[in-house]
Chain A
Amino acid sequence: MSILSLTAVQLGQKIKEKKISVREAVEASQEQIEKLDSTLHCYVTTDAKKALEQAGHIQKKIDEGTLTGPLAGVPVALKDNLCTEGMLTTCSSDILGNFVPTYTAEAVRNLERQGAVILGKTNMDEFAMGSTTETSAYGITRNPWNTDHVPGGSSGGSCAAVAAGECFYALGSDTGGSIRQPSSFCGVTGIKPTYGTVSRYGLIAYGSSLDQIGPVGKDVADCAAILEAIASYDKKDSTSVKRESYDFTSALVDDVKGMKIGIPRDYLGEGLDPEVKSAVLSAAKTLEEKGACVEEFDLSLVEYAIPAYYVIASAEASSNLSRFDGVKYGYRTKEYDGLHSMYKKSRSEGFGPEVKRRIMLGSFVLSSGYYDAYYLKALRTKALIKQAFDKAFQKYDLILGPVAPTTAPKLGKSLADPLKMYLGDIYTISVNLAGLPGMSVPCGTDSKGLPIGLQLIGDCFQEKKIIRAAYAFEQTRSYEGPNLDRVKGGEEA
């Protein structure tokens, strides 16, 4: 059995039992990167030497018995919007093309305390704005299942890297579906935790009221273990929540008897691909056969989530991205005439088209005369959407549905029509508006052989219910990875 076929937790166990060394695990990932990443381009930055050095230090601590966690020695990939001290952090943008942070994000520090080995930084949509990883300033990432297709986004590099065995697990961030949608497209498992569960300190901000860091892994057990490692109360994040419990792995129980699961009828209507629909409903049937009570219901307001999201996220982005001005860090234009010209030219040359589009929209909806009509209207809509979920969770333990209306689209088909691309976020976006936890679990493939994701949504702080249902569902099928022998063929095609 090759090292690469192991999950993160299985590898951690083998390292603990001294059957595999940390160095062997790191080298296995690096060989896979060497073999596949010129085609897939999951990474924007790797540091092989540093990772091997780290492997040595961590092996020593494991041998001494000072590192005993389930992920000690397991190699990880980090989305490139997570600050890493001494390692380039670009957000896949030209404006941060030379940015080497002097501090590390809290979620990453939590992993380091558990003995993670960092392989590198993964490609993403520029500033996490996009659904395909095609807005990256450093080139596209290809889907390991079919290299003519996108991996999804914005955490496309992280999800593709896990699927391709170029790391054992990864961190992503989710503002409107950016962990769940690429997890679905790449056939891996990802969690967007309840807002406030994972510290955002050191995560380069996009929409601060929506952003959450979360795990991407091969299976549910990996995701639970990773979430347990990264979640913490952090004074440095003013929206960090002190939770009663940070235990998630005890929810890995194969039992959904009596669990009440609601499927929003509004999630099954027009626009949903019939093959996705059938795979998701068949997953629901499986949970029903295992003893869950499953029924359809009307969630309502689903079509208002996307317009509300784009107002709120763009408004926050226009404010958050005002820090990129060519003064403190990042790119500064070469020729300018005075301070304001320097600001404007640095920003205009440093940001890509999708980022500019959202900064413009955000500046507009926050401008005097439009603030009430757009920004406050969107915040009122958000309150109604939250109420609709509150009502649903009075009746149900979980909400079940598709992650995305389709499987991964072909490369080059999405960016020409931004509005159409935004509509693909319809099932994921309201979860961020309401601050809820959501998870994507593989539930089959379509006739083209592309993976389909099942989404499980819980009430705030109910990650354990999601994990339990996802785990129970997962027991009915075995992990299926992409056929990586085809990856090289895709390059020629």
Chain B
Amino acid sequence: MSERISDETIEYVGILAKLELSQEEKEQAKIDMGRMLDYIDKLNELDTSGVEPMSHIFPVHNVFREDTVTNGDDSQNMLANAPEKKNGAFKVPKTVE
């Protein structure tokens, strides 16, 4: 069984992913991620030297347009699904003391 994922790595990935895992979930995540990475290591059989990473199938170009406003501020719609709102803004917990 793979031991490649340490407790520190799971903690670190949890911070990146903004997920709070229980001890049980962390142990399971170590196993699941280890197994997937063992499997993904199959890619190392392939010689990809000199191959450019392909993020898009078709050539993607920047598209420019005039910076003209075509819509309203739409703030009512933006806020329609907010869990909490106040004075036309999203309300979040206090972040600065």
- A contacts, CB < 8 Å to B: 98-103, 195-196, 209, 238-239, 241, 301, 303-304, 306-308, 310-311, 318, 322, 325-332, 336, 338-345, 347-348, 351, 356-357, 359-364, 366-367, 374, 376-384, 386, 418-419, 434-435, 460
> Could you tell me if B83 and A364 are in contact, using CB atoms closer than 8 angstroms?
no
Given contact pairs A342-B93, A383-B51, A347 touches B18 in the complex (Cβ within 8 A): yes
Interface presence of B64 (CB below 8 A): no
> Could you tell me if A377 and B43 are in contact, using CB atoms closer than 8 angstroms?
yes
> Could you tell me if A328 and B82 are in contact, using CB atoms closer than 8 angstroms?
yes
Given contact pairs A99-B81, A329-B82, A344-B19, A304 touches B43 in the complex (Cβ within 8 A): yes
Given contact pairs A304-B42, A307-B42, A384 touches B58 in the complex (Cβ within 8 A): no
What are the 9 closest A-B residue pairs judged by CB atoms, nearest first? A379-B53, A435-B57, A329-B81, A332-B83, A383-B54, A380-B48, A102-B77, A363-B16, A363-B17
Interface string of B52-65 (1 = CB under 8 A from A): 11111110100100
Given contact pairs A360-B13, A419-B35, A380 touches B19 in the complex (Cβ within 8 A): no
> Could you tell me if A419 and B54 are in contact, using CB atoms closer than 8 angstroms?
no
Given contact pairs A103-B77, A367-B12, A419-B35, A338 touches B95 in the complex (Cβ within 8 A): yes
CA of A318 to CA of B58, assembled, Å: 23
Given contact pairs A310-B36, A377-B43, A383-B54, A318 touches B17 in the complex (Cβ within 8 A): yes
> Could you tell me if A434 and B57 are in contact, using CB atoms closer than 8 angstroms?
yes
Chain B nearest CB from A240 CB (Å) reads: 10
B60, closest chain A residue (CB): A239
- B contacts, CB < 8 Å to A: 9, 12-14, 16-21, 25, 29, 32-33, 35-37, 39-40, 42-46, 48, 51-58, 60, 63, 77-78, 80-84, 90, 92-95
Could you jot down 7 A-B contacts, CB within 8 Å? A306-B39, A328-B82, A330-B81, A348-B19, A356-B19, A360-B33, A367-B12
CA of A361 to CA of B95, assembled, Å: 29
> Could you tell me if B83 and A326 are in contact, using CB atoms closer than 8 angstroms?
yes
A326, closest chain B residue (CB): B83
Chain B nearest CB from A324 CB (Å) reads: 9
Given contact pairs A310-B40, A380-B54, A325 touches B18 in the complex (Cβ within 8 A): yes
B44, closest chain A residue (CB): A377
A303, closest chain B residue (CB): B42
Given contacts A342-B93, A460-B57, 7 further A-B contacts (CB under 8 A): A98-B81, A241-B58, A303-B42, A307-B43, A344-B18, A359-B17, A435-B57
> Could you tell me if B39 and A339 are in contact, using CB atoms closer than 8 angstroms?
no
Chain A nearest CB from B73 CB (Å) reads: 13
CA of A164 to CA of B21, assembled, Å: 40
CA of A378 to CA of B39, assembled, Å: 13
> Could you tell me if A386 and B16 are in contact, using CB atoms closer than 8 angstroms?
no
**Cβ contacts under 8 Å, B25 to chain A:** 356
> Could you tell me if A360 and B29 are in contact, using CB atoms closer than 8 angstroms?
yes
B80, closest chain A residue (CB): A102
CA of A341 to CA of B95, assembled, Å: 11
Given contact pairs A303-B42, A327-B82, A374-B40, A363 touches B54 in the complex (Cβ within 8 A): no
Chain B nearest CB from A272 CB (Å) reads: 19
**Cβ contacts under 8 Å, A347 to chain B:** 18-20
Chain A nearest CB from B47 CB (Å) reads: 9
**Cβ contacts under 8 Å, B32 to chain A:** 357, 418
